[in-house]
């Protein structure tokens, strides 16, 4: 091939490589595996057109050379439009699932508000009962009651205050969501342990935080339900979930472990994409699944991993 041939060859490759070079900017908020997949479009076309151009130049088939040059330009333009369309479509799906997540979050806040209202009424009742016990203690003391009788009256007064709803964490959105998820899990016969410390100021927005906790909890609940359906629900500890999280202004770490049995997992594993009903206050996993959580983590310089360990399943989100 002479200098003219190399020039023509380069001219047919330049449009495709320009399209390839524009991908990082268009896909800056997309997972790396998705970037590699999209990059295969212009690279595969460049390889095919380059091979055809080499044969055309060797055979001096100038009409075919011109056709390949036009095809290169057309393919480069189509690649850019296709990637933009895919990115826009993915963003629309994310927005739709954000709306669905906000619906779940709103329902969680409403449920939590009902709990606090009921608790407020209970506190008023307990306070009135406590005052009555104090009056009884005062009367007993004036009447010279025995020490044992006074101790019983004091114990009765201390028991007047029943345990009330405890906050899960400082962040109100996460608190309401976790309260709902724990209620749903316990209703299904799943033991839940929760040690969560999430402040009001975190690297993630409230929507992103709820997306993380909702999906990790839903996946864990789904895996435990599968265990119980396969006969693993006989023992009290056979279906369990443990939620640990620490989030402040600098970092966010969420660790969710749950019971896991390989024979109770679906073909895609215990965290496979399966639609769970909205009536159960869960989110369709095919929307806000682990892949979306990986994207959220990547935007904040973190990561999201999920893997089976020795007798349990581990999911960790860091940002």
pLDDT digits (tens, 9 = 90+) for 61-97: 888 888 888 888 888 888 888 888 877 777 777 777 7
pLDDT digits (tens, 9 = 90+) for 13-26: 777 777 777 777 76
H or E segment at 107?
A: helix 62-142
Which is nearest to 294 in space by CA: 272, 315, 276, 273? 315
pLDDT of residue 84: 80
The whole-number average pLDDT for the span 295-313 is 86
pLDDT above 80 (res 48): yes
pLDDT above 90 (res 256): yes
Q: How is the chain split into domains, by residue range?
A: 3-106, 164-270+287-318
The whole-number average pLDDT for the span 38-42 is 78
**In a 10 Å sphere around its CB, with 0-12 CB exposed, 13-18 middle and 19+ buried, how is residue 255 labelled?**
middle
Query: What is the band of 195 on the pLDDT scale with cuts at 50, 70, 90?
Result: very high
Q: What is the DSSP secondary structure assignment for residue 41, as one 8-state letter?
A: H
pLDDT of residue 243: 95
Residues across the chain: 319
pLDDT of residue 270: 42
pLDDT digits (tens, 9 = 90+) for 200-242: 889 998 888 888 998 899 889 988 888 887 765 444 447 899 9
Domain boundaries 164-270+287-318, corresponding CATH code: 3.30.565.10
Across the strands, what pairs with 312? 259
């Amino acid at each position: 091939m002479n200098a003219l041939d190399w020039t023509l060859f380069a001219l047919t490759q330049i449009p495709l490589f320009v399209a390839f070079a524009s991908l990082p900017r268009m896909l800056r908020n997309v997972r790396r595996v998705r970037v590699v997949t999209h990059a295969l479009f212009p690279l595969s076309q460049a390889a095919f057109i380059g091979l055809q151009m080499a044969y055309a130049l060797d055979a001096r088939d100038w009409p075919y050379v011109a056709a390949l040059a036009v095809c290169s330009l057309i393919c480069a333009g189509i690649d850019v439009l296709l990637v933009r369309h895919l990115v826009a479509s993915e963003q629309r799906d994310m927005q739709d699932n954000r709306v669905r997540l906000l619906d779940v979050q709103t329902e969680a806040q409403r449920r939590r508000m009902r709990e606090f209202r009921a608790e407020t009424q209970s506190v008023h009742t307990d306070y009135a009962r406590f005052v009555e016990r104090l009056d009884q203690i005062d009367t007993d003391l004036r009447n010279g009651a025995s020490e044992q009788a006074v101790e019983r009256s004091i114990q009765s007064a201390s028991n007047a205050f029943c345990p009330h709803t405890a906050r899960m964490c400082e962040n109100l959105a996460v608190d309401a969501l976790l309260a709902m998820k724990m209620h749903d899990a316990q209703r299904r016969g799943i033991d839940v342990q929760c040690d969560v410390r999430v402040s009001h100021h975190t690297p993630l927005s409230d929507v992103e935080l709820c997306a993380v906790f909702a999906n990790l909890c839903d996946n864990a609940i789904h895996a435990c339900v599968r265990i119980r359906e396969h006969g693993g629900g006989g023992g009290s500890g056979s279906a369990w979930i443990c939620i640990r999280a620490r989030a402040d202004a600098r970092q966010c770490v969420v660790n969710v472990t749950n019971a896991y049995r390989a024979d109770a997992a679906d073909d895609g594993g215990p965290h496979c994409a399966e639609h769970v009903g909205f009536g159960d206050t869960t989110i369709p996993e095919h929307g806000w699944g682990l892949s979306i959580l990986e994207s959220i983590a990547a935007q904040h310089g973190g990561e999201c991993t999920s893997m089976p360990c020795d007798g349990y399943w581990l999911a960790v989100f860091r940002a």
